[in-house]
């Protein structure tokens, strides 16, 4: 899978599935510095991802400040040829001043065994 550099940052395409509904995201930041994976609430609302009774709200801190998020288990999160089923992600506002659908964090990168080639601008699963 290819990496596209925008705003000086690495972006990839990701397909997500929640309760049988799929969505292709074209602007997902590949971020080894983010412990977790997070998707934009506005973007995933299109496939029915919403806060429900029983969802726990948490505060996360990052370079952009503090943000309130909730977690959901997705049917799958897929990038390139790598797919993780039953993967837990956070959902938040993600108002970072740039076009961004989500952040593919180190939790996904490590679990999927992704290898990032920053010279060739590619990402692949470890063989």
pLDDT in tens, the chain (127 residues): 899 999 999 999 999 999 999 999 999 999 999 999 999 999 999 999 999 999 989 888 876 678 899 999 999 999 988 999 999 999 999 888 889 999 999 999 999 999 999 999 999 998 6
47-73 residues labelled b (16+ CB within 10 A) or e (exposed): eebeeeeeeeeeebeeeeeebebbebe
Number of domains in the chain: 1
pTM: 0.92
CATH number of the domain that residue 9 is part of: 2.40.70.10
Q: Which domain holds residue 86?
A: 4-125
Rounded CA separation 19/12 (Å): 23
Asked whether the beta carbons of 92 and 57 are under 8 A apart, the reply is no
Output phi, psi for 106, to 5 deg.
-65, -25
């Amino acid at each position: 899978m290819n990496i596209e550099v925008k705003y000086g940052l690495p972006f990839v395409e990701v397909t997500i599935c929640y309760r049988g509904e799929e969505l292709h995201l074209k602007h997902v930041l590949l971020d080894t510095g983010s412990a977790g994976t997070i998707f934009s609430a506005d973007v995933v609302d299109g496939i029915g991802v919403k806060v429900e009774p029983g969802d726990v709200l948490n505060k996360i801190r990052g370079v952009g400040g503090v943000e309130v998020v909730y977690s959901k288990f997705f049917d799958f999160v897929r990038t390139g040829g790598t797919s993780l089923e039953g993967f837990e992600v956070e959902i938040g506002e993600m108002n970072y001043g740039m076009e961004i659908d989500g952040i593919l964090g180190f939790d996904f990168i490590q679990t999927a065994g992704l290898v990032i080639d920053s010279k060739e601008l590619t990402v692949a699963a470890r063989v």
